[in-house]
Structure 1
Amino acid sequence: MTANGSHIGKCFCGSVEIEVSGDPAAMGFCHCSSCRTWSAGPVNAFTLWPPEKVPIVKGLNTLVDYQKTANSKRIWCKICGGHLMTEHPLWNVTDVYAAIIPTLPFQAALHVNYQETVLPMADGLPKYRDVPTTLGGTGELIAV
C-alpha cells in the first residue's frame, strides 16, 4: 500500500503499473469459461472498481487489448503478456485481477457464473448463476 492508501498493480515484467484507490465495488470469484480460459486457471479472482479509480501510472504505450464481446475488453502488457484487467463498459466497472495487487487484502464476497464451475468451492459465499441484479444479471442463486 502506498502512503496515500492506494495500491499499485503491475504486469508480470513491471513495465505497466496501475494504481487503485479507495475500496473496490466488489471482490469475488468468476467461474465463467471466458475468465477461466483467459486466466488459464480454474477460477478468476476479481476486484471491481469504478474506471476512474484505476489510472495507468506507467507503461500506457505497452498496453494491448482484445474485445470479444460488448461486455468485456481484456487488457494486458504487450512486452510480457501479463494480464492486468478487464473493462466492463456495460456495467461501468473495471476488473483488476486480484493477483496483480498483492497489497490489497482480498476478501471475496460472492461467486459469479457458478453454474460453469470446474472447481467447486465450499466457502459459504453466495453462488450466483450469472451476476447480481445490480450488474444486470438475474440475481439467481445456485443451491450447493
Structure 2
Amino acid sequence: MSNDKSYIGRCFCGEVQFTVKGEPEAMGYCHCESCRHWSAGPVNAFTLWKPEALEVTQGVDKIGTYNKTPASYRKWCRSCGGHIFTEHPEMGLIDVYAAVIPEFPFEAGVHVNYQEAVLRIKDGVTKMKDVPVEMGGSGETVAE
C-alpha cells in the first residue's frame, strides 16, 4: 500500500463520510466480548490508524459517542445507528471498522482476544490470547 493512498468510508446511511489516508498501524480481528456485543457479530474486523490519518468529511455533527471505559470511545451515526469507528486514546489510535471502508484492501495480520472467541477462524493468522505486549497485553499466542 502506498502512503498517499486514501479510502472513503461511510456509515450505513451515508450521512457520515470520512477518508483514511496512508497505511493502518495494524489490521486484524478482535474476538473480545465487548467488540462482539458492540458489533452484534461474532467477530470484529479492525483497522487501527493514527488519528491524523482520519478525516471526517461530512456529518461530524451526526456522530454520537459512547465510552463504557476510558480506553474506548465508540462512534456511530446518530441518524442510522451505523457504527463507524472507535477512538483508543490510551493507544493513540483509532479503529476504523473494516466493513465501513469498502474499497480498503483489508488483510488481517492478527486475531486478538482469541481466548474469548465464539467463532473459530482457521486461517493460519496468529491468534493472541489477549493483545500484543506493545498494547498492554501478555503477548501470548494460542492454538488455532
Question: Would you say same fold, with TM above 0.5?
Answer: yes
Matched, 1:70 2:70: yes
**Superposed CA offset, 1:36-66 (max 9, x none):** 0100000000000001111111100000000
Q: Which residue of 2 aligns with 1:11?
A: 11
Matched, 1:32 2:63: no
Deviation at 1:143, TM superposition (A): 2.2
**CA–CA distance in 2 between the matches of 1:39 and 1:95?**
13
Letter in 2 for 1:59: G
Q: Which residue of 2 aligns with 1:54?
A: 54
Coordinate RMSD, CA, aligned: 0.8
Matched, 1:133 2:133: yes
Q: Secondary structure at the match of 1:55?
A: strand
**Superposed CA offset, 1:52-99 (max 9, x none):** 111111100000000001111100000000100011111111000000
- Identity across the alignment (%): 56
Letter in 1 for 2:117: T
**CA–CA distance in 2 between the matches of 1:5 and 1:23?**
8
* Aligned pairs, number: 141
Q: Which residue of 1 aligns with 2:115?
A: 115
**CA–CA distance in 2 between the matches of 1:120 and 1:90?**
29
**CA–CA distance in 2 between the matches of 1:73 and 1:117?**
22
TM-score (norm 1): 0.95
Range moving further from structure 2, 125-134 or 27-36: 125-134
